[in-house]
Chains A and B, each alone.
Chain A
Amino acid sequence: MEICKLEHIHKDYRMGEIVTPLKDVCLSVNSGDFIAIEGPSGIGKSTLLYVMGTLLQSDEGTYTFGGKDVSGFSDAEKSEFRAKKIGFLFQDSTMIQALTLRENLIFTQGVGGKKDPRKVDELLYQFGLEDRADFFPHQLSGGQRRRAMAARALIHHPSLILADEPTNDLDEHWSEAVIRILKEQTEKGTAVIMVTHNSRWAAVATRRMRLEDGILTDIDEYGRKHT
């Protein structure tokens, strides 16, 4: 079942000169998809995730989610959409500083209109953070914060998880665990789009794509474009 669809998405940045990270991006995402997006640094992979998460408006093209044109949503509608449908795992480990880890999860769940303390405990356990639940973000290590962010991305049962280099700051064990947990989410019907530079984790995805020169193309396990 198709969750969302990008059609001919175009995005420019004007920074003295015009930079075009997304030239003609087309992508259809189905329920249960695990898509890995690869490509050189600074090419626009994060920009693509921001557009899909409605944090950034494309200049051209259509973005539909569940059959609705998201590009035409008002700011408030986009907020509600993000709260209910999208789980973000940003490149930076940003958290609400005044809240403990558990409170961060509860708050995010609440914004999405849900209240499920069992899910909070379950995720804390899954990400090995149960003994850090009452710690503030500044009391956590980089890896712990990364795991906390992964837990936050899943806390409200989103339909689409946008993970920007989710294994950053993580050791081998926890990188594997995070990828495994993301994979498990796809088995429950959630779609995951993951930006990564790591071929090993990209290989876990059901579909590998490369963003280059503003165009997204499918690639095989050796990084060759599909014909």
Chain B
Amino acid sequence: MLMLIWKNISRRRTQSTLTVTITMLTVLVFVMVLGIFQTVNQGLALSRERLGADAVLIPKYSAAKGDDLLFTAMPENIYMPVETVEQAKLLEGVAAMTPQFYCQTLELGCCEPGEAVRIIGYDSETDFLLKPYLDEGSQNGIDGGQLIVGSNFEDDDLVGYNYMILGRVFQVVSMLQPTGSGMDSTFFMDLNTAQDMCLESEVLSQSWTRRDPHDYISVIMIKFADGVDPEAFVQQVEESGMEAKCLLTGETIASLQSQLEVTMQVMFALWLASLLIAILSLVGRFNALAKERKKEIGLLRAIGLKKGQVFGLIIGETCTMALMGGFFGSALALLAMNPVIEMLKDAFKLSPSVWDTTLALLCGGAGVALAGVLGFAAAVNPAWKSASMDPQAAITQGEVN
């Protein structure tokens, strides 16, 4: 019986290829939608869970957007007076706060990521954002020649490697664990070192001819004490007269989430439509196949195949083709996922969570399972009708009946 299943598939190449292709395309779309949904959703959850800061203080007249700052590694050159740190200490409801200084690499030498990336100078004494994602050795701070890199730069462990940034050589001392935020695509160095580099670098120093970068910081990350009303905190910042405004990270995430939900709903609806089209075309195909092979099915019954065996034969054929389509569709989708996630990062200003082997296997497995269900669902009715046909009527094709 298995031989007949396989030969029916392999020797009706055009028809089989068509069936496999329809299933493959449906599964391809399904796995991609599922994969994107999973990575984006997990990325959001990770961001919400791991972001650490409840609010960000940025320069009052800065046009920088919260989602750019939090979820992308887009270099933002925004600065406010260093005194803001002292003023922020006076705000009520602050459990922890840490300043950061942003600068960006420009024309980089060897061992560089090859494009402008965000460099953040962080204060290891007050930091509460990086610590949870650092190994123990780097949690106590780094010196001026050391660098911490986000998890997105290389697949391999970069610890111990040297990077040349704006003429300075840095040794990578730690790689952050994936955070699902823009931190994954950022270089971190000591805050003072970042400020020094703005003066030393031929290119960056042109922006600092009249000012000393040591007198400025870019943002202050704030963690609220328990029970703080975020809106009241924003109000407090506004009324304090500081040269800063407050962005709430929760709001930013919620806004992103609602954008993504709409997008995902549209994608899901499109996928449902494609699934419906696939089911209809497969039902049509399997019905046509059953009609075309009516005489042959009558013959099979005449030579002694039982109803269940004929049913099994047709289901076996359709499910084998569907599973083949499912396998190829899943494989193609998994191959395409990495470039798609890269595109999403730009489109959604979001670092989706890591597309790892487990998630890939889960999505691929779901794709193959869907293909099996699709093949079975589309074939069960024609298969049962064929198996239940009166064998004599099938052979004579209604000649007498």
Which of B295, B309, B395 neighbours the largest number of chain A CB atoms within 10 Å of its CB?
B395
Contact assessment for A94 and B304 in the assembled complex, using a CB-CB cutoff below 8 Å: no
A85 → chain B closest CB, angstroms: 9
Within the assembled complex, what's the spacing in Å between the Cα atoms of A210 and B392? 22
| A132 at interface, CB cutoff 8 A | no
Chain A residue nearest in CB terms to B391? A55
- Contacts of B296 on A, CB cut-off 8 Å? 94-97
- Contacts of A88 on B, CB cut-off 8 Å? 302-303
| B385 at interface, CB cutoff 8 A | no
Within the assembled complex, what's the spacing in Å between the Cα atoms of A82 and B295? 17
Residues 67-106 of chain A, each 1 if its beta carbon lies under 8 Å from chain B, else 0: 0000000011001111110001010101111110001000
Residues 325-339 of chain B, each 1 if its beta carbon lies under 8 Å from chain A, else 0: 000000000000000
Size band of the B side of the interface?
20 to 34
| A185 at interface, CB cutoff 8 A | no
**Total number of A-B contacts with CB less than 8 angstroms?**
79
- Contacts of B78 on A, CB cut-off 8 Å? none
Of B7, B298, B301, B302, which is within 8 A of A98 by CB?
A: B7
Contact assessment for A79 and B305 in the assembled complex, using a CB-CB cutoff below 8 Å: yes
Which residues in chain B, 1-55, are within 8 Å of chain A measured between CB atoms? 3-4, 7-8, 11-12
| B306 at interface, CB cutoff 8 A | yes
Within the assembled complex, what's the spacing in Å between the Cα atoms of A97 and B293? 9
Whether A112 touches B304, Cβ cut-off 8 Å, given contacts A13-B400, A99-B4, is yes
| A204 at interface, CB cutoff 8 A | no
Which of A46, A80, A84, A98 neighbours the largest number of chain B CB atoms within 10 Å of its CB?
A98
| A50 at interface, CB cutoff 8 A | yes
Of B4, B12, B395, B401, which is within 8 A of A94 by CB?
A: B395
- Contacts of A107 on B, CB cut-off 8 Å? 3-4
Contact assessment for A83 and B392 in the assembled complex, using a CB-CB cutoff below 8 Å: no
Contact assessment for B304 and A47 in the assembled complex, using a CB-CB cutoff below 8 Å: no
Contact assessment for A111 and B12 in the assembled complex, using a CB-CB cutoff below 8 Å: no
* Chain A residues at the B interface, C-beta cutoff of 8 Å: 13, 15, 46-47, 50, 53, 55-56, 75-76, 79-84, 88, 90, 92, 94-99, 103, 107-108, 111-112, 136, 152
Q: What 4 pairs across the A-B complex have the smallest Cβ distances?
A: A83-B304, A55-B392, A98-B11, A79-B306
New contact pairs (12) apart from A13-B401, A15-B401, CB-CB < 8 Å: A46-B396, A55-B301, A55-B302, A56-B392, A79-B304, A82-B302, A88-B303, A96-B299, A97-B296, A98-B8, A98-B11, A103-B3
